[in-house]
């Protein structure tokens, strides 16, 4: 029997190539090896009270991108978190098994509380419990994560251990499956690629938009003139070419160090490679977007399949906790 893989994607709208390299590609690859459950975690988006006017369209766009990336609803369950309301009940029940001190020490909570002191809500503190509930509601055993998410998964494992110790063996501790491309740096060359920082390239961007964005990317900061030798390992364009253009990478490294290639030509080659790699995905997305009834049906079917698993888990949890 295949192990259950689980992961959630925050609905921040259209996905970007950082989401794709860091998560989406891994999700697609995992479909054959694991029994996968993927969800768009819309409740998580509420913890920071983001612009909820756009929430529905953001959910839809992210869902479309995952399908276009190659998630096959015949192989994996794909759905929207809030469409299976059992998550709210498990979140409450797991909260009872989670010491507040564990949540207050989470670095991302401290950081968010510092950045948005006017909005330190109860949901934000409980975010890791909701994340743990997501995984265990669907009995997730393997969770694809980047290195930066490992502390969150460790906390989910601690919550599971505590619950099992207190109420009896119920959940398996989820294991991390590290992505091959742990962190994708944005076009600014410093921070993680992120829509909110504007240093991203949307998966669904046109070839022209992609080229324009790539041409604006920061390269090796020490290379001021075309004749200056470059330092490819310090250049984010090089990292992206390693992924999108691997057969050229040895030659590029040498050409860059010897100043035989300029950054403009190098970026143009990267844009071409990205456009070529993403062309099938973008074509699939256009055809899916033209068929919203199909996409809505996949969403509905996914929620129904997920709910079957969720109800079983919840019955077991309530029984262990003496509620039924």
CA distances from 225 to 16, 100, 133, 229, 236 (A): 31, 55, 53, 9, 18
| Reduced 3-state DSSP string for 147-179 | HHHHHHHHHHHHHHHHHHHHHCCCCCCCEEEEC
| Sole window of 5-13, 14-22, 260-268, 279-287 interacting with ligand SF4 (rule: CB under 6 A) | 260-268
Q: Is 321 exposed, middle or buried (0-12, 13-18, 19+ CB in 10 A)?
A: middle
Q: Does 263 bind ligand SF4 (CB under 6 A)?
A: yes
Task: Return d(Cα 17, Cα 164) in angstroms, integer.
Answer: 38
Active site residue 195: yes
Between residues 83 and 267, which has the closer beta carbon with respect to ligand SF4?
267
Query: Is 177 one of the catalytic residues?
Result: no
Q: Does 266 bind ligand SF4 (CB under 6 A)?
A: yes
Among this protein's residues, is 2 annotated catalytic? no
Catalytic residue among 25, 112, 139, 267: 112
**Among 31, 260, 73, 145, residue whose Cα is nearest residue 157:** 145
Q: Determine which one of 3, 75, 195, 318 is catalytic.
A: 195
Which residue stretch of 55-63, 157-165, 207-215, 218-226 sits at the interface with ligand SF4 (rule: CB under 6 A)? 218-226
Q: How far is the CB of 249 from ligand SF4 (least distance, A)?
A: 9
At 192, phi and psi to the nearest 5?
-55, 140
Q: How far is the CB of 204 from ligand SF4 (least distance, A)?
A: 25
Residues 6+ apart with CB under 8 A from 299: 63, 78, 79, 80, 83
Q: Which is nearer to ligand SF4, 82 or 275 (CB)?
A: 275
* C-beta closer to ligand SF4: residue 62 or 235: 235
How many whole angstroms separate alpha carbon 14 and alpha carbon 17? 10
Residues in the chain: 324
Q: Are 11 and 51 in contact (CB under 8 A)?
A: no
Identify which of residues 72 and 265 has a Cβ nearer to ligand SF4 in the complex: 265
Cα of first residue to Cα of last residue in the chain, in angstroms, is 30
Which residue, 78 or 237, is less far from ligand SF4 as judged by CB? 237
**Residue 66's closest CA among 32, 17, 26, 15?**
15
Residue 189 falls in which region: left (phi positive, over 0), alpha (psi -120 to 50) or beta:
left
User: Judged by CB, which is closer to ligand SF4: 158, or 253?
Assistant: 253
Beta carbon of residue 223, minimum distance to ligand SF4 (angstroms, whole number): 5
Residue ranges in 219-238 that form contacts with ligand SF4 under rule CB under 6 A: 219-220, 223, 230, 232, 235, 237-238
In the complex, what is the shortest distance from the CB of residue 110 to ligand SF4, in angstroms, rounded to a whole number? 35
- The region of 122-130, 136-144, 258-266, 287-295 touching ligand SF4 under the rule CB under 6 A is 258-266
Q: Mind telling me the catalytic residues? A: 112, 192, 195
The residue ranges that bind ligand SF4 (CB under 6 A) are: 219-220, 223, 230, 232, 235, 237-238, 256, 261, 263, 266-267
């Amino acid at each position: 029997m295949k192990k259950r893989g689980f992961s959630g994607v925050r609905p921040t709208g259209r996905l970007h190539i950082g989401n794709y390299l860091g998560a989406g590609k891994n999700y697609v690859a995992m479909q054959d090896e694991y029994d996968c459950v993927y969800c768009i975690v819309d409740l998580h988006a509420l913890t920071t009270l983001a612009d909820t006017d756009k929430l529905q369209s953001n959910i839809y766009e992210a869902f479309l991108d995952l399908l276009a990336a190659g998630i096959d609803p015949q192989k994996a369950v794909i759905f929207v978190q809030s469409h299976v309301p059992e998550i709210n009940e498990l979140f409450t029940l797991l909260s009872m098994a989670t010491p507040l001190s564990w949540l207050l020490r989470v670095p991302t909570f401290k950081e968010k509380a510092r950045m948005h002191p006017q909005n330190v809500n109860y949901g934000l503190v409980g975010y890791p419990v909701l994340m743990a509930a997501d995984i265990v509601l669907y009995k997730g055993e393997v969770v694809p994560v980047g290195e930066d998410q490992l502390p969150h998964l460790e906390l989910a494992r601690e919550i599971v251990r505590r619950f099992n110790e207190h109420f009896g063996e119920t959940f398996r501790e989820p294991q991390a499956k590290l992505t091959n491309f742990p962190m994708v740096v944005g076009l600014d060359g410093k921070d993680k690629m992120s829509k909110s920082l504007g240093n991203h390239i949307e998966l669904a961007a046109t070839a022209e938009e992609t080229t324009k964005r790539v041409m604006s990317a920061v390269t090796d900061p020490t290379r001021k003139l075309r004749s200056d030798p470059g330092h490819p390992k310090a250049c984010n364009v090089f990292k992206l070419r390693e992924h999108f253009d691997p057969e050229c990478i040895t030659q590029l490294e040498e050409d860059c160090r010897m100043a035989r290639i300029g950054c403009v030509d190098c970026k143009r080659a990267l844009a071409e490679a990205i456009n070529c790699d993403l062309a099938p995905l973008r074509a699939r997305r256009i055809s899916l977007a033209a068929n919203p009834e199909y996409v809505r049906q996949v969403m509905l079917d996914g929620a129904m399949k997920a709910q079957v698993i969720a109800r079983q888990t919840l019955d077991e949890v309530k029984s262990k906790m003496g509620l039924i």
